[in-house]
Amino acid sequence: MKLLGPALTILLVGQLAGPVRADEPKPAGPGVAEDYALHCSACHTAKGGGTPGLVPSLRELAPLLALPGGREYLVRVPGVAQAPLSPDRIARLLNWVLAQYSGLAVEPRYSAEEVEILRRSPLRDPVGFRAALVAASGIPSTAH
């Protein structure tokens, strides 16, 4: 039965990055859009807009990605790092989401090797970590 009341709060913070290119090897399993629907859309919504005040939008990731540590942050957020997907599927998903919702062609593209390393250290406090990233950049937080 339903146990936790408001237990769900900002849990998800950001996920992701760029489109699937023709030269990108296709991992085995479902397509990237299906991976997004099953693993991301329940909170970030089908169109990536998130829920204001609760779940971050995936449409405004350019400033965050540009910050030192921003690229790594997008892999270490719990929703990405702990997703029950192989590293190559997560890499493909990140590249696709960044392109699909934020219009970013991230270079270099996320790779399975990079994801495999970064997901070993998931963030315990993604909201605090993100705020610290922004504060350290000296850029007004409204830009993030």
Partner 1 sequence: MSRLDRWLEDSARGLARRSGRRSFLARVGRFSAGLVGASMIPILPVARASNEPRRLPGEVEGPEGDPGSCEYWRHCAIDGFLCACCGGSATACPPGTSSSPVTWIGTCLNPADDQHYMISYNDCCGKGFCGRCSCNRNEGERPDYHWYRANDINWCGGASSQAYHCSVARVVGLASEQQPER
Residues interacting with partner 1, by CB under 8 A? Answer: 1-9, 11-12, 29-31, 34, 37-39, 41-43, 45-46, 51, 54-55, 79, 82, 84-85
Residue 135 beta carbon to partner 1: minimum distance, rounded to whole angstroms: 26
Closer of 5 and 108 to partner 1 (Cβ): 5
**What dihedral do alpha carbons 37, 43, 47, 53 form, nearest 10°?**
-170
- Give the C-alpha separation, 132 to 19, whole Å: 28
- Give the C-alpha separation, 41 to 134, whole Å: 25
Closer of 32 and 106 to partner 1 (Cβ): 32
Residue 117 beta carbon to partner 1: minimum distance, rounded to whole angstroms: 21
